[in-house]
Amino acid sequence: MSKILPAGTPAPDFTLRVTPDQTLSLKELRGRPVILAFYPADWSPVCGDQMALYNEVLPEFHRFNAELLGISVDGVWCHAAFSHDHNLHFPLLADFEPKGAVAKLYGVYRDGEGVSERALFVVDKSGTISWSYLSPVAVNPGADGILEALENLPK
Amino acid sequence: MAKLKVPVSPADHAQGPADAPVTLVEYGDYECPYCGRAYPVVKALQKRLGKQLRFVFRNFPLRETHHHAEAAAETAEFAATQDKFWEMHDLIYENQQDLSDELLSDLAKRLKLDATDLARALETGEFAERVQKDFSGGVRSGVNGTPTFFINGQRHDADFELETLARAISEALP
């Protein structure tokens, strides 16, 4: 089992699908902080859903000019339905083919289950990981750690 | 382990003695069905623990998911200005399945509050800042959904069944 990439590591670049006909590369967002939120699966059956929470906290992330990307192994159509249902205002990336490749790159893939960990990264504007956090998979990590990491970024 | 970053203060809505050995803080959303399920659980805890427990409710409306959560939170804050926070809080949860703008107005009338004043307050967002302050403080404290409970300032990560919460609270008792 690989280890989660720590702070100080250059964030590996990737290109993933955001919608059936659109892709997004991490390097396109260079120049502003990026939050990568890996999570196991769409449609977790609680109001405590992590993505729904981040959707509510989005204005606070934007105060730091930060971009939030949700990443799971679900496919684009699944993401589209989930995003629509939850009225999400940020992109969900499909780490679908080859499955979990980006999660593996960041050291947050759960081999046995075939899903990613619940893991958070804050990438600074020059593309270096400035904070990373691996949450117990059953515990929604909330947003406090992300906000603290954004606050600690050099101005 | 996430900790409550905003200490309980006189600005909070609290039930039970200020010097109770245990303070239970709930961050809740009036439209969230899980909060609806937690409502009788908290009542049962209060009954069982009496003066040993202080209960504080803070707003955490998930506005994008629950379209009446914000209005409901502001309605309870409106009621609070006339010392009727808890009456309104209880009535909203007891009628949660029918939550609507109309219901909020009816509940105000039932508590002999001025429904016109309420409508104006909701329209101007008079209590929006207060609700937002609760929400932001909750985010900073690691609130990760609704309901989120804190027992003496520590986030309770287990479920909120009566016996689970009761056990966690008894462990926090000195």
Does B3 contact A at CB distance below 8 Å?
Answer: no
Gap from A59 CA to chain B (nearest CA, Å)? 11
Gap from B142 CA to chain A (nearest CA, Å)? 5
Residue B116 has pLDDT above 70, yes or no: yes
Residues of A in contact with B143 (CB under 8 A): 142
Among the partner residues B29, B141, B145, nearest to A144 by beta-carbon distance? B141
Cβ contact, residue pair A47, B145, below 8 Å: yes
Of B110, B70, B136, which is closest to residue A144 (Cα–Cα)?
Answer: B136
CB B146 within 8 A of CB B69: no
- Rounded to whole angstroms, how far apart are CA atoms B138 and B27? 7
Q: What is the pLDDT of residues B13-24, one digit of tens each?
A: 999 999 999 999
Q: What predicted TM-score, i.e. pTM, was given to this entire model?
A: 0.90
Residue B1 has pLDDT above 70, yes or no: no
Q: What is the pLDDT of residues A84-111, one digit of tens each?
A: 998 999 999 999 999 999 999 999 999 9
Does B116 contact A at CB distance below 8 Å?
Answer: no
pLDDT-derived band at A48 (thresholds 50, 70, 90) equals low
Cβ contact, residue pair B143, A142, below 8 Å: yes
pLDDT-derived band at B139 (thresholds 50, 70, 90) equals very high
Position A1 scores a pLDDT of 53
Q: What one-letter code names the amino acid at B72?
A: A
Q: What is the mean pLDDT of residues B98-117?
A: 98
Domain ranges of chain B: 22-172
* Residue of B144, B146, B149 to mutate when probing chain A, most A C-beta within 10 A: B144
CB B42 within 8 A of CB B149: no
In order, the DSSP letters of B97-148 are GG-SHHHHHHHHHHTT--HHHHHHHHHHTTTHHHHHHHHHHHHHTT--SSSE
φ and ψ at residue B132, rounded to 5 degrees: -65, -35
Active site residue ranges of A? 47
Residues of A in contact with B5 (CB under 8 A): 144
Residue B132 has pLDDT above 90, yes or no: yes
Q: What is the mean pLDDT of residues B27-34?
A: 96
Residue A45 has pLDDT above 70, yes or no: no
Q: What is the mean pLDDT of residues B142-158?
A: 94
Position A44 scores a pLDDT of 74
- Rounded to whole angstroms, how far apart are CA atoms B145 and B143? 6
Cβ contact, residue pair A144, B148, below 8 Å: no
Residue A94: partners with Cβ closer than 8 Å, 6 or more residues away: A16, A17, A18, A72, A73, A74, A75, A76, A78, A79
Residues of A in contact with B148 (CB under 8 A): 48
Residue B169 has pLDDT above 90, yes or no: yes
Among the partner residues A48, A60, A144, nearest to B145 by beta-carbon distance? A48
Q: What one-letter code names the amino acid at B123?
A: E
Position A138 scores a pLDDT of 85
Gap from A98 CA to chain B (nearest CA, Å)? 31
CA A12 to chain centre: 13
pLDDT-derived band at B115 (thresholds 50, 70, 90) equals very high
pLDDT-derived band at B2 (thresholds 50, 70, 90) equals confident
The per-residue pLDDT of chain B, averaged, comes to: 96
User: Any idea which of A9-13, A134-138, B48-52, B94-98 has the lowest mean pLDDT?
Assistant: A134-138
What's the CATH number for B22-172? 3.40.30.10
Position A47 scores a pLDDT of 57
Query: Residue A62: CA atoms inside 13 Å, Cβ hemisphere, count?
Result: 8
Cβ contact, residue pair A144, B142, below 8 Å: yes
